[in-house]
Amino acid sequence: MSTIYYHIEKKQWYQCEEENGLFFGKTNTMIPYVGSCPEHSLPFPVNNDGNHVGPIIGILTGNSRDNTFLGNLKVLKRILLSLHEHGALGVIITPHSIRGQIMEAFTFYQPLNKWIKLQSPLPNVVYNRIPYRHMEEKKDFIDIVSFFKMNEIPFFNPHFFSKWEVYQILKKNDFVKRFLPETTLLKNLRDLKKMVTKHQILYIKSSTGYKGIDLYRLKVQQNGMIVETPHGKHSYSTFTSFWEKNQGDFTKSNYLIQEAIEADTYDGKRYDLRILCHYRDNGHLISGIGVRVAGENGVTTHVPNGGSIIPYQFVGDRFDEVILQKLVFEIGRTLMDETGEFIGEFSIDLGRSKNGAIFIYEINSKPMVFDEVDIHQKGLENLTKLLIMEASKA
């Protein structure tokens, strides 16, 4: 380990160990030697490899109006502290941070228990934590991603997934496709009627939705249909009346129709698994498995919409973990092969039918923060190791 120092007022880095200089960041920026450490400088212990120290790991999040950044501060702080504990310099950046070969960045400085602003050389790797999908559609995000690629800075997790694009990609994998519920794009009333003739219960979901938002469950009955959402239940006498009421939403963005699985239950309620996955060495592995149980309305298992949490051990004997790990490996490999991007982490929402069949509901590129302490900790450990590993390759 080496110690480097940052002087906040002068916006300069120093070190007191190597007269010929230490180097860090993507461009091997030299940290000048000084005989004694300047006053009012903050020490940062970092890994060293010869005369190179770090790495610098940039965490990309959104711009804010006060020229700081947006994001889940608790999550960002947790990642930064883990990186610092492992000898890396973790910094928060936004699409507006780059100034030539310098970044205007932020980090959480544990000894002072506060956020600080600092200047840093370009990072060795960038981890995408942009919080909202619409931010990834803006020109400043597109421009900074192009900048990273042009400067050969690895960009970890390129963007939010589209459910429809992921479905089309995974259908190309012969092993994975047998675990996919039948799914199609909802373009018109004819698409809906066609799926209803094959499946008496359907889900309609936005291709870009999350946390159970924009989710409908349709159940056909003799005298019409029942439509359930996280907010309530409605009856319709005809498909046409349902379509006319919701056509505006369904046609302004991509919505999917997916066959509903007659799901296995725990304590009389439907449940599904949330599998957290990280890349390690030559493929993706499981970092943890959580379980979410549907609420009273039964439409979604998401906790903010009435779902609840039970330990995986309560239902773990119903799943073949060899199959689950094979699925994780194949999904990760297929997504990276087909997109040409490095996807370091993702999560899987997965269910089991009453007859024991496994079904993949969706894949998330930016996994939720797990409430389970063991998954939370293992996921952070694997993420930290992965970021440092990718930075060392750059």
Q: Is residue 278, in this structure, part of any structural domain at all?
A: yes
Give the type of residue at 156.
F
Domain count, the chain: 3
pLDDT in the model for residue 298: 61
Looking at the DSSP assignment, which residues form a beta bridge with residue 227? 218, 234
- Asked if residue 353 and residue 255 are part of one domain, the reply reads no
Q: Is residue 150, in this structure, part of any structural domain at all?
A: yes
- Asked if residue 282 and residue 250 are part of one domain, the reply reads no
Per the structure, the complete domain to which residue 347 belongs is given by: 163-179+263-365
What are the residues whose beta carbons fall under 8 Å from the beta carbon of 223, sequence distance 6 or more?
A: 237
CATH code (residue 131) = 3.40.50
CATH code (residue 239) = 3.30.1490
Per-residue pLDDT tens over the stretch 235-258: 888 888 888 888 888 887 889 999
Instruction: Name the one residue in this structure whose structure tokens are 């934590």.
Output: 129
- Asked if residue 82 and residue 9 are part of one domain, the reply reads yes
pLDDT in the model for residue 287: 96
- Asked if residue 203 and residue 64 are part of one domain, the reply reads no
Looking at the DSSP assignment, which residues form a beta bridge with residue 58? 91, 126
Which token pair is 63? Answer: 């711009």
- Asked if residue 118 and residue 23 are part of one domain, the reply reads yes
CATH code (residue 309) = 3.30.470.20
Q: What is the pTM of this model?
A: 0.91
Q: Are 310 and 270 in contact (CB under 8 A)?
A: no
Per-residue pLDDT tens over the stretch 331-356: 999 999 999 999 999 999 999 999 99
Distance separating alpha carbons of residues 158 and 259, to the nearest angstrom: 29
- Asked if residue 218 and residue 359 are part of one domain, the reply reads no
- Asked if residue 231 and residue 267 are part of one domain, the reply reads no
Would you call 2 helix, strand, or coil by DSSP? strand
pLDDT in the model for residue 299: 64
- Asked if residue 342 and residue 274 are part of one domain, the reply reads yes
Q: Is residue 374, in this structure, part of any structural domain at all?
A: no
Q: Is residue 213, in this structure, part of any structural domain at all?
A: yes
Low-confidence ranges of the chain (pLDDT < 70): 211-212, 296-306, 394
Q: Is residue 306, in this structure, part of any structural domain at all?
A: yes
- Asked if residue 306 and residue 167 are part of one domain, the reply reads yes
Distance of CA 1 to the CA centre of its chain: 31
- Asked if residue 50 and residue 144 are part of one domain, the reply reads yes
pLDDT in the model for residue 296: 66
- Asked if residue 222 and residue 267 are part of one domain, the reply reads no
pLDDT in the model for residue 126: 97
Distance of CA 292 to the CA centre of its chain: 18
Which token pair is 162? Answer: 């589209």
